[in-house]
Amino acid sequence: MNKKIKEKLGFGLGLLFAMGALAFPNSCANTTTPPSGGDKDTIPPVIIGLSPLPGATRVPTHGTRIKITFNEYVTVKDPKNIFLSPPQAKRPKYRIHGRTLEVYFEEDLEPDKTYTLDLTGAVQDNNEGNLFPGYTLCFSTGDHIDSMAVTGVVQDCNTLQPVPGATVMLYKDQADSAIYLHRPDAAVKTDEWGFFALRNVQDTVYRLYAIKDEGGNNIYDPDNDLAAFLDTVIRPTLRVSDTLKELLKYDMKDTLHCMARVAEHELNLFKGKPDKQLIDNQGRTGERSGFIAFMASDAKIDSLWIRGIPSDRLILQFNQLRDSLNFWINDRRKMPDTLHVFVDYLKTDTLNKREPFTEHLKLTEENKSMSRRTARREVRKEDTTCTVNIEAKPETVEQYGFTFRFSLPVIKENFDSLTLSAINPRQQESRMKFKVTRDTLNLMKYVLMPEGKLQKGWDYRLKVPHHAFMDINGSWSDSTDVKVSLPDDDKLSKISLSLTGVDHKYIVDLLNEDRTKTLRSYNIKSDCTLDFPYLEAGKYSIRITNDANGNGIVDTGDILTRREPEKVKFYRLRDGSYVLTVNESTEMDQHINVSDLFKD
């Protein structure tokens, strides 16, 4: 260790320990021991002076200034991480004088209240940019210091990955609307591990929430913020002390110590549904088609009609969440430049109640001013042809078959004219039977499933003749030929997943290692064995969602009705890992008792 670093470390630690001796017994300050370094200065800044001192009481409510002196010149990396609890309407302000960071407030502090000022992730040294691990100073404007603590972790409800930078909040007000209306009684930011420690809080009963506070105002905005809540009230059981590892500040790369912290509570962030129902967007998607988007899901429509268009000529389709409606006009007459659409639905009024309302929408075609000559010159093939995309992937054709996606609703279809052939390695061809189903949620999607077991080394060819389909424009489809073969790479592997204890509907997903992409998905409702074949060597995760309402999707939560998002669990190996390592040319058998998994 070079002379400069020795001086920094020795001088800073000496004074810091001296200040620690002045701390109150309920531990209103926490410290971090800096790591050692080499020739390059890798030591983060060290605090050598504080005013007021940790645990100070009767701090003035007006004109309060917190002075934190470091052993070297520092800069503020992120002002948002200078965090006061309980938070005020405006964030703390700061100035830097020499080596001293001075924090002040634009409004008075409240009387008889314990405050904490947290600097985690806010400060770095001026030369090398070494990040100050963090410090939490506590003081009181009254005669005593609150001494209780609450710990936990905030994670994404779908991936269960930790969420850094979330705001965790305690409310004495137990009304469901409190998080919408006013700031909390205590708050803190999660660290890079999604971990939080609310320290020096009052010994009383609270509601516990977390939000991803996009507006930075410490009040929940359902239109923009993610949210989480604990479904029961809590009372702190931990008491603040210098030895409580959950309250210490660690280098976020110190995996051993960060993972050793105990989380009392687990909060799963979700995107809530907007409360207000109204038409949020609308437009034409073509001469005979358009869409209407609603702000909230579960839109209740009594009727929809278009001026001059018979009602039996309209084709309507909601999406699964019923927050978006597509319409098509099954009429080949030339459509007007502007469609006058009338929607009878339940709209949120000024009293926040949903009442019947008729909305008049004027939907204008974007290319209405284009001349006929230009229009004829720019006619595309898809304007005169029933276009369909047919997808069949080698690794999933056994599970998903051949998927047909049309660009417009089909009014005539002749799947009987299609032929599916199996071609063996000797090029001998034989016909296969198949079954076609229409997607219940997407009228322009069909799935063709081969009947019988598919064989490795064989080709499967689907031939679609001319004029097999007609869309609402009266356009016929072209012929096409789709060929697919099962993968025959000997290096590919397979996971067989045996599921027991299945007493209702669940969604089972195979994800990549970092849980950002769903590779395969099943909906199940009874004990079964699921196969995930043709996997490349790598790392995977298995996610199981409790599909409580059986709709086949992961439903989000709602703060006002205190409905949590549908529970998600990841399959955990005996060694504690959530990641399955699949080697080349491997058949891996795994067993999961789903009931036991969701008991944890």
Tens-of-pLDDT digits for all 600 residues of the chain? 444 444 444 444 444 443 443 444 455 655 444 445 455 677 889 999 999 999 999 999 999 999 999 999 999 999 999 999 999 999 999 999 999 999 999 999 999 999 999 999 899 998 888 889 889 999 999 999 999 999 999 999 999 999 999 999 999 999 988 999 999 999 999 999 999 999 999 999 999 999 999 988 999 988 889 999 999 999 999 999 989 999 999 888 899 999 999 999 999 999 988 878 999 999 999 899 999 999 988 999 999 999 999 999 999 999 988 999 999 999 989 999 999 999 999 999 988 899 999 999 999 987 654 444 444 445 455 568 999 999 999 999 999 999 999 999 999 999 999 999 999 999 999 999 999 999 988 999 999 999 999 999 899 999 999 999 999 999 999 999 999 999 989 899 999 999 999 999 999 999 999 999 999 999 999 999 999 999 999 999 999 999 988 888 888 888 888 888 999 999 998 888 899 999 999 999 999 999 999 986
Instruction: Indicate the residue among 271, 302, 336 that finishes a domain.
Output: 271
The rounded distance, in Å, linking the Cα atoms of 116 and 135 is 10
Which residues pair with residue 441 across a beta bridge? none
Instruction: Indicate the residue among 337, 364, 391 that finishes a domain.
Output: 364
CATH code of 453's domain? 2.60.40.1220
| Residues 52 and 160: beta-carbon distance below 8 Å | no
Which among 14, 105, 54 has a CA at the least distance from the CA of 240? 54
Does 369 map to a domain? no
How many Cβ atoms are within 10 Å of 160's Cβ, its own excluded? Answer: 18
Q: According to the model, what pLDDT value does residue 445 have?
A: 97
Residues 560 and 587 placed together within one structural domain of the fold? yes
pLDDT in tens, 368-400: 544 444 444 454 555 689 999 999 999 999 999
Length of the chain: 600
The rounded distance, in Å, linking the Cα atoms of 524 and 513 is 23
Q: According to the model, what pLDDT value does residue 24 have?
A: 40
Q: H-type helices in 40-176, by residue range?
A: none
How many Cβ atoms are within 10 Å of 143's Cβ, its own excluded? Answer: 8
Does 82 map to a domain? yes
Residues 288 and 267 placed together within one structural domain of the fold? no
Pairing of strands 338-348, 354-364: antiparallel
Residues 428 and 354 placed together within one structural domain of the fold? no
Per the structure, how many domains does the chain have? 5
CATH code of 539's domain? 2.60.40.10
Residues 17 and 135 placed together within one structural domain of the fold? yes
How many Cβ atoms are within 10 Å of 32's Cβ, its own excluded? Answer: 19
Instruction: Indicate the residue among 245, 271, 297 that finishes a domain.
Output: 271
Which among 129, 135, 138 has a CA at the least distance from the CA of 47? 135
For 81, counting Cβ atoms within 10 Å of its Cβ (0-12 exposed, 13-18 middle, 19+ buried), the class is: middle
Residues 121 and 169 placed together within one structural domain of the fold? no
Helix/strand/coil percent split, the chain, to 5: 10, 40, 50
Range of the domain at 404: 383-485
C-alpha distances out from residue 148 to 165, 173, 189, 234, 453, Å: 22, 18, 17, 12, 63
Q: According to the model, what pLDDT value does residue 274 have?
A: 80
Q: Which two tokens stand for residue 477?
A: 């489809």
Residues 159 and 259 placed together within one structural domain of the fold? yes
Q: Which residues lie closer than 8 Å to 372 by C-beta, 6 or more apart?
A: none
CATH code of 303's domain? 2.60.40
Q: With 0.85 as the threshold, say if the pTM is over it.
A: no
423: amino acid identity, one letter: I
Does 378 map to a domain? no
The rounded distance, in Å, linking the Cα atoms of 537 and 368 is 54
Does 375 map to a domain? no
Does 373 map to a domain? no
Give the single-character DSSP code of 457. T
Residues 74 and 18 placed together within one structural domain of the fold? yes
Does 300 map to a domain? yes
Q: According to the model, what pLDDT value does residue 600 have?
A: 67
Q: Which two tokens stand for residue 562?
A: 């205190």
Which residues pair with residue 167 across a beta bridge? 189, 211
Q: According to the model, what pLDDT value does residue 130 have?
A: 87
Half-sphere exposure of 267 (CA within 13 A, CB side): 30
CATH code of 264's domain? 2.60.40.1120
Does 370 map to a domain? no
Residues 301 and 242 placed together within one structural domain of the fold? no
The rounded distance, in Å, linking the Cα atoms of 396 and 527 is 22
Residues 400 and 460 placed together within one structural domain of the fold? yes
Does 377 map to a domain? no
Q: According to the model, what pLDDT value does residue 383 have?
A: 66
Residues 49 and 154 placed together within one structural domain of the fold? no
Which residues pair with residue 343 across a beta bridge? 304, 359
pLDDT in tens, 509-557: 999 999 999 999 999 999 999 999 999 999 999 999 999 888 888 888 8
Residues 67 and 123 placed together within one structural domain of the fold? yes
Residues 401 and 351 placed together within one structural domain of the fold? no
Give the single-character DSSP code of 5. H
